[in-house]
Amino acid sequence: MVQFTETYLYDPNLLLKLDFHRSPAKFQPFISAASPGESWLKVRPLKDTDYDRGFLQLLSQLTHVGNVNRTQFLTRFSQMKASGDYFVTVIEDTRKGEIIGAASLVIERKFIHNCSVRGRLEDVVVNDTYRGKQLGKLIVVTVSLLAEELGCYKMSLDCKDKLIKFYESLGYVLIPGNSNSMTIRYDEAPQTTLKRNVTSTHGGGDNSCQTVSLDFAS
């Protein structure tokens, strides 16, 4: 019989080192990456076989994914693993073999702060049908604690105005005087100016975007 091996994006033992009591997040009841509240839930690194567990379909609930085939998925997975700077973490419903939550920690290597590293939280999504199980909070706290475990001096993210209170409850704070998010999009029609998402710390509407940070150095 041919046995197929699965490859983790990063060492799953890293998740066992995380102390969820260090987070200001309030879990009722208490849960963690090691004990996510249900025997059929598993928090783990992304695997190269998660193409068949609906990982990309889950991401499509967050944003446009495109028609990514298996070869493209495996190529990108191998590139991320080889770099050592990508920590895509997922929650699996093992009853169905389906990915129902995900978040990405991306490590930026710096010259500043004594050649330290900074973390960025990206692509946070939880399947809507699993609301009420604290999974959004769980996946964010997991990757935030992972960033600290990996030696990041801070963790940053961009979020919509309506999510600021949620992230503040997990220890993130708006950056004083630097709460605007600006981007240049290369996948849209050419623009003559930078696309500015928000003009004040209070923003306006669901599409405005704020930068919040979790500082491990202070």
pLDDT for the residue numbered 202:
39
- Pick the closest to residue 127 from 160, 93, 76 (CA basis): 93
Per-residue pLDDT, 130: 94
Give the per-residue pLDDT at 197: 42
The predicted pLDDT at position 192 comes to 45
Which pLDDT score, from 0 to 100, does residue 2 have?
Answer: 55
Residues of the chain where predicted confidence (pLDDT) is lower than 50: 191-206
Q: Could you identify the residue written with the tokens 């990206």?
A: 122
pLDDT value for 73 = 98
Of 1, 37, 31, the C-alpha closest to 18 is 31
Whole-angstrom distance, CA of residue 209 vs CA of residue 162: 9
Residue 127 pLDDT: 97
| Domain covering 12-169 in this structure, CATH number | 3.40.630.30
Q: Cα–Cα distance between 69 and 51 in angstroms, integer?
A: 9
- Rounded-to-10 torsion of CA 69, 73, 79, 83: 150
Full 3-state SS string of 152-210: EEEEEEEEEHHHHHHHHCCCCEECCCCCCCEECCCCCCCCCCCEECCCCCCCCCCCCEE
- In tens, the pLDDT along 134-147 reads 999 999 999 999 99
Pair 216, 153: CB distance under 8 Å = yes
Can you give the pLDDT at residue 209? 64
Confidence (pLDDT) at 1: 56
Could you read off the pLDDT of 80-120 as tens digits, one per residue? 999 999 999 999 999 999 999 999 999 999 999 999 999 99
Q: What is the pLDDT of residue 207?
A: 52
The two most distant CA atoms of the chain are separated, in Å, by 61
Q: What are the boundaries of each domain within the chain?
A: 12-169
* In the block, residue with structure tokens 């500043």: 112
